[in-house]
A and B are shown apart, each in its own frame.
Chain A
Amino acid sequence: MTRHHGRGIASINYPIGMNLGGDPSQALVHSNPSGKFTVALSSIDLGQGMKSVTRQICAETLGVPVEDVYVDTADSDTGPHCMGSFASRGTHRVGNAVMAAAREARGVMMEAAAEELEVNAADLETDGRGNIHVKGAPHRSISTKDVAIAAQFKQGRTISGRGIFLVPLSDVDPETGEMSPATCYAHACLVAEVEVDDETGEVSMVRMDSAYELGRALNPRLVEQQLVGGAWMGVSHALYETTEPYYPNPAHGPRDFVDYLMPGPGNICPHDIAVLERPAADGPFGAKGPGEMCANPVLPAVANAIFNAVGVRIDELPITPEKVLRAIKAQGGARPQPRR
């Protein structure tokens, strides 16, 4: 009875969103007479931070303070259509739609400001603090609030914009069948270190080290939060979670949180994360999506670490103590592999 130490590595290439063309999301942006802006979406933020990120994207595109933008979302009755929050698509697809809508709204806002300042709209710029002024002449200025009031009550304009992002359909080469299933890929590499007890078959996490390349991190703290929480979910899938432990036999399936195993705060391990930023050509401000991919490399890395520790290959998830123990017995004992 020994606790064997093992290390495993995995790299992933992760396509953002659904593939093969399409996967649309829409956004509408409009100003209120107060000079604040509302973004209407029906995309759901389950806590990943999409509301924050779309707010940042809208504010940056409009050239107004982030405090002046409100994101109204998650109502599919009143919001424009969205395919949904999955496949790491929120920042990329919805972000692009918001950017397009904000760009159109900005155009109207600049036209309205130009009319008030009696200049050409092309000569105007935003200062990011809620003002629009003539380039090179900051004293020739009007606040976005005054522009909104003028547009609403004097000019009869709606400062608003529509946006949609639709992935172009990829051409298929008739000879080879080759095509581009996705337009945007993120990448990750993760090293997992585990300890495997050859008497009980239990696997415990020792540490993880990872590097994620996910385009520009529009909100670095939210990205970090996704990567930390997502890696935990990866560990959970790798070692604990299942609704049908003896699939297709439904016996012994969990019925509640007491039976359904997940790692608790005592089962987590140190995780060192490096974020590499290589802006995506078709991402909003270069962003890809750090959602689902943050769980993915953990599973193969943990499976490889278990092989490294005791020499057994488990190819069914989750890698329970029972599976590890049966595999160790079947090969006549633990066979630790060389460390590289």
Chain B
Amino acid sequence: MAKTALQFRHNGRDVAIFVDGGVNLLLALRELIGDMTPKFGCGQGGCGACSVLIDGELHLSCLTLAETVAGRSVETLESMKDGPNLHPLQRAFADNFAAQCGYCTPGMLMAAKALLDRNPQPSRAEVVEAISGNICRCTGYEPIINAVLAASASRARA
């Protein structure tokens, strides 16, 4: 099958790959770019584990055709990596015990980042709404909601 050349920005860096027609962004990121931070949960938009930001907006990478991100900017959890320093959201997740098995955590962090980027001081209801597309099996959500609110508060103090 003919492959298509695809260029886009991946966590602030220009990347170029060849993709088969119909390949979704999640597979392109994991298998062609080697960025394993977006997780494969259900592959059909039901769990949120694969959430990434495209031009700053939250998207399910498993339901996004890879070719549609040509020339656009894709951010994954890997973008929060800064040497030994944790991103304020990662720090808040750790402090609030917002992860147990950790499989939903990359998607949760991206959903939370999308929220705080456009609404730095969300209400509790807005946090609930923002993560409502992401399934967590372990935590009961309460610690995750608390972590996002704590990150928002620490950003307000900074």
CB of B145 within 8 A of chain A? yes
Q: Does A233 contact B (CB under 8 A)?
A: yes
Contacts of B45 in A (CB 8 A): 258
Residues in chain B near residue A233, CB distance under 8 A = 137, 140
Determine whether the beta carbon of B46 is less than 8 Å from that of A271.
no
Flag if A257 contacts B41 (CB, 8 Å): yes
The number of residues on chain B lying at the interface, defined by a beta carbon within 8 Å of a beta carbon of chain A, is 26
Asked if A332 CB lies within 8 Å of chain B CBs, one says no
List the B side residues contacting A266 at CB < 8 Å: 128-129, 132
Which residues of chain B are within 8 angstroms of A46 by Cβ–Cβ distance? Answer: 100-101
Separation of A224 and B140 alpha carbons in the complex (Å) = 12
The interface residues of chain B lying within 8 Å CB-to-CB of A48 are 100
* Contact B100 A258, beta carbon cutoff 8 Å: no
- B119: interface (CB < 8 Å): no
**Complexed CA–CA distance, A316 and B112 (Å):** 37
Given contacts A47-B101, A221-B97, A258-B44, contact A264 B139 (CB under 8 A): no
In the bound complex, do residue B143 and residue A47 qualify as a contact, i.e. CB atoms below 8 Å apart? no
Complex Cα distance A264/B45, Å?
A: 15
Tell me, yes or no, whether A225 is within 8 Å of chain B by CB. yes
Contact A265 B145 (CB under 8 A): yes
Complex CA–CA separation, A256 to B127 (angstroms) = 25
A128 at the binding interface (Cβ < 8 Å): no
**A262 in the interface (beta carbon within 8 A):** yes
A231 to B129, CA, bound (A): 21
Nearest residue (CB) in B for A234 is B140
Q: A47 to nearest B CB, angstroms?
A: 3
Residues in A neighbouring B138, C-beta threshold 8 A: 47, 229
> Once the chains bind, are A257 and B100 in contact (CB under 8 Å)?
no
B52 within 8 A of A: no
B102 contacts across to A, CB distance below 8 A: 47
By beta carbon, the residue of chain A nearest B108 is A265
Q: How far is the CB of B143 from chain A (nearest CB, A)?
A: 6
Q: Mark A251-268, 1 if CB is under 8 A from B, else 0.
A: 000001110001011101
Interface string of A218-236 (1 = CB under 8 A from B): 0001101100111111000
A83 to B29 CA separation, bound complex (whole angstroms): 38
Which A residue sits closest to B101, measured CB to CB? A47
Contact B44 A47 (CB under 8 A): no
User: Nearest residue in B to A267 (C-beta to C-beta)?
Assistant: B141
Report chain B residues within 8 Å CB of A224.
97
A229 and B46: CB pair below 8 A? no
The distance in angstroms between the C-alpha atoms of A271 and B143, with both chains bound, is: 12
**CB nearest to A265 among chain B residues:** B141
Q: Once bound together, how far apart are the Cα atoms of A198 and B144, in whole Å?
A: 32
B65 at the interface (CB under 8 A from A): no
Asked whether any CB of chain A lies closer than 8 Å to the CB of B42, the reply is yes
Q: How would residues 197 to 241 of chain A score, 1 for a CB under 8 Å from any chain B CB and 0 otherwise?
A: 000000000000000000000000110110011111100000000
Residues of B within 8 A of A (CB): 41-42, 44-47, 97, 99-102, 127-129, 131-132, 135, 137-145
* Closest 10 pairs between A and B when the two form their complex, measured CB to CB: A232-B140, A47-B100, A257-B46, A47-B101, A265-B141, A258-B46, A225-B97, A229-B140, A265-B128, A229-B139
Between-chain CB contacts (< 8 Å), 5 pairs: A47-B99, A47-B102, A228-B140, A229-B138, A232-B142
**Apart from A232-B141, A257-B47, A257-B135: 12 A-B pairs, beta carbons within 8 A:** A46-B101, A47-B102, A225-B100, A228-B142, A229-B100, A229-B138, A229-B139, A256-B42, A264-B135, A268-B141, A268-B142, A271-B142
